[in-house]
Amino acid sequence: MDIIQMTRELGKALQQDDRYIAYTLAKQANDNDAVLQADIEKFTALRTDLNTLMSSENPDSEKLKELDEEIKAVYKKIMSNPNMFVFNSAQNALESLINNINQIISMCANGEDPDTCQPSGGCSGSCATCGGCG
């Protein structure tokens, strides 16, 4: 088996992992949540309005403040939605898994032993000791 085929097998294994399954189920729940989708659309429209207003020659500071407050309120509503909470948690778990996979591959590409190299738990901020970002 060549390395590309092995990578495809890794992809299949990833899609069987509980973290991937939880992510896809949470994403589907978000997609099916009409209230959440309406809030996301409203948030996007408000951000567009804010960007348009900010790029105008003489933006109305009162309107800017009003839009900013409304955006914050809609964002808070989105983030407090139970489906979004579950989605964010599932997404973080999946991203952590993928980051660990990427770190192991990077460490192996740098000559470390594939059987013993360990991905770091998080970013220390120092690229000098890092196996690579995900």
pLDDT band with cut points at 50, 70 and 90 for residue 134: very low
* Each residue's pLDDT tens digit, 31-68: 999 999 999 999 999 999 999 999 988 888 999 999 99
The rounded distance, in Å, linking the Cα atoms of 77 and 40 is: 10
Quote the crossing angle between the two packed helices 3-16 and 82-109, to the nearest 10°. Answer: 150
Whether 118 contacts 99, CB under 8 Å: no
* Each residue's pLDDT tens digit, 68-102: 999 999 999 999 999 999 999 999 999 999 999 99
Q: Is the pLDDT reported for residue 122 higher than 90?
A: no
Domains of the chain: 3-129 (1.20.1500.10)
Q: Full-prediction pTM beyond 0.85?
A: no
For the CA atoms of 102, 94, 85, 78, what is the dihedral angle to 10 degrees?
A: 60
What is the DSSP-derived secondary structure letter of residue 80?
H
Considering just the CA atoms, what is the radius of gyration of the chain in Å? 21
